[in-house]
Amino acid sequence: MNMLYGLSRPTSGKIFIREKEVDFFTPLDAINAGIGMVHQHFKLVPSLTICENILLGVEIMYEGKLGKLPFIDSKKAYEKVQKVSDKFKIDLNLKDKVKDISIGLKQRVEIMKMLYRNVNILILDEPTAVLTPQEVDDLIIDLKELKDKGKTITTTSTLSFPIFFFIFYFLLFISYYLLFLFLSNFLCFFLFLNPPF
């Protein structure tokens, strides 16, 4: 996943997006190609607001009579982020500080960062690892909404391995238990019909 997002360079193979070979040197290259990634460990600044975190690195500069000035146009930026939030139905209070929100909302902020940058392919690294069951349900609803809006979503997860081993050992236990019951009943039945004395 890090190679798809430009964090690592592939040692072999090729990456194709829409039948076109691409080569990413930085995450910015991947974002420009329409690929965004939400990491398991969020990359947010706790002292900033949700809106400021979403805009970090792509700030909207104030335009005056002399052109763009080195000041952030907070009102225009807030309106633009709110428009993206409304479009994808991701409910966030953009004025809240990140340090004051839950883990589930922090993940939504990370997703919003990528949607604001207009990515079409969203990679989620272990999206449910740190969430409560209710937050997992909310995430699934959000991801279905994104899918309906034409976004491609891919996730990484190690949850399948423990589940696989649990099912495997559970079935193994059940089969041994059933075998034991069958043999014990068979022996009792056999001994009842043919007593050894």
Sequence ranges of the domains in the chain: 15-157, 163-197
Residues 6+ apart with CB under 8 A from 17: 33, 34, 35, 121
Report the Cα–Cα distance between both ends of the chain, in Å, rounded.
71
Mean pLDDT on 89-105: 92
Give the mean pLDDT of the chain.
83
pLDDT (mean) for 168-183? 74
pTM over 0.85: no
Bigger pLDDT: 89 or 177? 89
Name the CATH code of domain 15-157 (choices 3.40.50.300, 3.30.360.10, 3.30.1540.10, 3.10.580.10): 3.40.50.300
For the record, the structure tokens of 100 come out as: 């004051």
190 or 185, higher pLDDT:
185
- What integer pLDDT is reported at residue 95 of this predicted model? 93
Residue 160: pLDDT above 80?
A: no
